[in-house]
Each structure stands twice: as C-alpha cells, then as structure tokens.
Amino acid sequence: MAEPLVTAPDTVHLIRAKRDGQPLTEAQIGWLIEAYLGGEVADEQMSALLMAIYFHGLDQTELRAWTSAMIDSGERLELAGVGRPTVDKHSTGGVGDKVSLVLAPLVAACGAAVPQLSGRGLGHTGGTLDKLEAIPGWRALLSPAEMLAVLREVGCVICAAGPGLAPADRRLYALRDVTGTVESIPLIASSIMSKKIAEGTAALVLDVKVGSGAFMRAETDARLLAQTMVTIGAEEGVATSALLTRMDTPLGRAVGNAVEVEEAVATLRGEGPADLVAVTLALAREMLRLAGLDADPAAALADGRALAAYRAMITAQGGDPDAPLPVAAHSRPILNAPASGWLRKLDAYAVGVAAWRLGAGRALKEHPVNPAAGVLCLAKPGEWVERGQPVLELRTDDESRFTRAAEALTGAIEVGAEPPAASSPIIDRVNL
C-alpha cells in the first residue's frame, strides 16, 4: 500500500485559524515562512496573517517556532574563531542614542569581541550606521570575511547586516511597516532576536528604552518586550539580559549624525555627559558579566583604551578618525525659556522630530540623511535657565527647514520653581 502524500498546509486555513485565536503548529509556521520567501504565499495573505497575530499574539511555542523559522531562512555567522568571548548589545531606539559608538570599543577594550550589526534610522529615532557614515571614508557594508577580520584585529565591528542573515525578517518587516502591524510585541521581539541570534554572538544585552522618545512609551509594555526577548534568547542558547532605560529626554546633548559622533568621541576622551556615561557603563558591565569577564569598563574609559579601540575600528572600516566632521551651513538658537527657573522637561520625541525635519532622519528607508543636521541641547532637565535663554540650537544645511522643525517643539519644555525629581537613567534589569 502506497504511503499517503504529504500536502502543504492551506494558507487560507492558517489565516482563519489565527484570526479565530487558534495557535499554529511549529510545522505550519516553518512551512509558512519558507513558502512566503519562495513566493507561494502572497503579500496580501501574509498581511492578513500578520494582522491576526497583531490582535491575537503568539504564545510561547508559536513565538519560538516563528523566531527559529526566521533564523533558519538564512545563514548563521560563525564567530567561534575570533579568540575572545562574544557579546553584543541591541537598543530599541531613542533620541540622541549614540551609546553603541562608545560601548562597542569600550567592551572590546575590556577583552570581549563585539560583533554589532546595526541599522539605519527611521522617523524620529536615529540609526547607528547613519551616524558613523558622517565619518569620511567609513564603510557600513562589509562582507562576512571582512567583518570577521575586523573583529579579530580590533575586537569590535559595527556594520550593516548582510542580506543572508534572517532574510525572512527583512521581507516581513517591510510588510509590517506598510500594514500597520509594527506595534506587536511578539513580532518586534522575533524580528530583533532572529537577526541577533543569526549573528552568532554567545551573549546579548538589550537596551529597552522607555518614555516619550522611545518605541515603547509605557514601562509595562517595555518590560513585557524585554522579558519576551530575554526568553527567546535563552531558548536559543544565547545568554541574554535586558536593561530598561529612560528616554523621556534626549540622551546626552547632541541629536543628529555628525554631532552625535562628536559627542561620542568626547565621551571616549572622558568628557561625556553624565546620563550617556551612566547608560554606557551600565550596559558595559552587563555585557562583561554575561561574557564572563572580570574587567572595569570605567577604567578602560578613563585610561584611553576605549578611545584607542574606537580609532582602530574606524580605521579598519576605511574611515579617518582624524578627519573633520560635516558642519551645518546654518544654525539657530531656539526655544527661549519663558521664565527663570529649573528646566523640568525637555521632550525627547519633540526633539527627535525636530532633528528629523532638519534633515537628520528619513521618512522612508531609501531616503538619504544630512550628516550635518541636528539639534544641540543647550540645557537639560535639572539645570537652571534664565528667562529668554535658548534651550536648543538647530542645525541644518537648508534654512527653509527651520520653520517646521520649530513647529515640532511646541510645548517641548517646562520651566518651574523646583527642580525635577532626581532619577537614574537605568530603571531596572530584566533577566531569567
């Protein structure tokens, strides 16, 4: 008697099942991702399924299968031969978040290998690759062999993810972006973790931002996202933890591309703003803990080892660490304090939108950015300001952009007779 033929799942059946809140099996999810990449499942069908997931979520078994299928859709990097324990960091994105530029060389200076595959900015949040591309000659696009060579030579590399890593995620993210399904915690978590796990790192620390300038504005949502990603990492054999960090006000004083590189280098010289230094050192300590290294990142920052590693990384990727950075043709002080008092609020989202409108960000992935555009925070919450004192300085190469950037800043500051309550930029640590 002949064995029965094994038939492929019916895509419409899977859509209906998820629409009605029924879980999908590992086999169904594996087939679905492979069939979508192979053109057997149409965009409109996958869009319907993504919307069903947006409303009904994925249980832990489904999420594990979904993430594994995206990892298996491409290649995995092999980092065992780099000669150091590997550990990476991922941020969910914020305003003025130039932490990676300081953190990767800092942790490398402490003995780890940091293979940081980064992305570009979209909307009000900046992208690490956009910032570094303000440096003349620096290359984001490296082949896997080039990436490994820099990692072995320097101990850290920041570059773009190649097309072979989790290609299913690239297609699904583009679809989510145009179908209103980006804001789904299971889909966000699997998107981030599939790329990081495919990258091959042994350990991972997540910087999950919370506040007005973050993707997750509510701490409860940020905590759930952090816990979900930490669980995925553990299930895939990657030592993973997360820090919840504040993003109600810009991190540091510079928001943009070249201006953030300048501030990152100043931080590596020991001249960084306190909030940026605090977040960077907290993440560095967590990365070194997971990597099993007993080292003091504050000492590596103070004695110049981190700066030396940064300069070596930039040089290894074709950049000139001594080259002048782009400077905007026009600058304008703005947002005068309405009274003398303590600056109590400087809204991160408003500043991020202003920087975006000045040209520092993009509305679509294919749009270019202006490396010189950005915003400088002349005062930060907790500092005293005099009446009429400008709180921000806008920079751009196109004067016509000032008007719309200023419009984004309506209501962005608050000045009062009492300073704001002191709070640490680190909210909590999330691990298993």
Marked catalytic residue, from 18, 56, 89, 90:
90
φ, ψ of residue 22 in degrees (nearest 5)? -90, 140
Annotated catalytic, 169? Answer: yes
Distance, CA of 129 to chain centre:
10
- Among candidate residues 97, 169, 207, 275, the one labeled active-site is 169
CA atoms within 13 A on the CB side of 95: 31
Side-by-side strand order, sheet with 87-91: 87-91, 203-210, 239-246, 426-430
Q: Is the CB of residue 171 less than 8 Å from the CB of residue 36?
A: yes
Among all chains, which residue has been given the structure tokens 């919307």?
51
CB distance 324 to 371 below 8 Å: no
Convert 306-318 into a string of H (helix), E (strand) and C (coil): HHHHHHHHHHHCC
Check 18, 131, 195, 223 and give the catalytic one. Answer: 195
Per the annotation, the verdict on 124 as an active-site residue is no
Measured CA to CA, the distance from residue 198 to residue 14 in angstroms comes to 27
**Residue 268 burial (10 A CB sphere; 0-12, 13-18, 19+):** buried
Q: Which amino acid is at 341?
A: G
Length of the chain: 432
Paired tokens of 17: 């099942």
- Residue 44: how many CB atoms within 10 A of its CB? 10
CB atoms closer than 10 angstroms to residue 322: 10
Task: Please give the structure tokens belonging to residue 128.
Answer: 């690490």
216 close to 225: Cβ distance less than 8 angstroms? yes
DSSP labels, 36-96? HHTTSS-HHHHHHHHHHHHHH---HHHHHHHHHHHHHTS-----GGGSS-BEEEEE---SS
Q: Cβ contacts of residue 290 below 8 Å, gap of 6+?
A: 87, 203, 204, 205, 239, 240, 241
Q: Please identify which of the residues 89, 176, 196, 253 carries the catalytic annotation.
A: 176
246 flagged as catalytic: no
Upper half-sphere CA count for residue 145 (Cβ side, 13 Å): 0
Strands 114-118 and 156-160, by their bridges, are parallel
Tell me, yes or no, if 191 is annotated catalytic. yes
Catalytic option among 73, 184, 191, 212: 191
Mark whether 322 is an active-site residue: no
Which of the residues are catalytic? 90, 169, 176, 191, 195
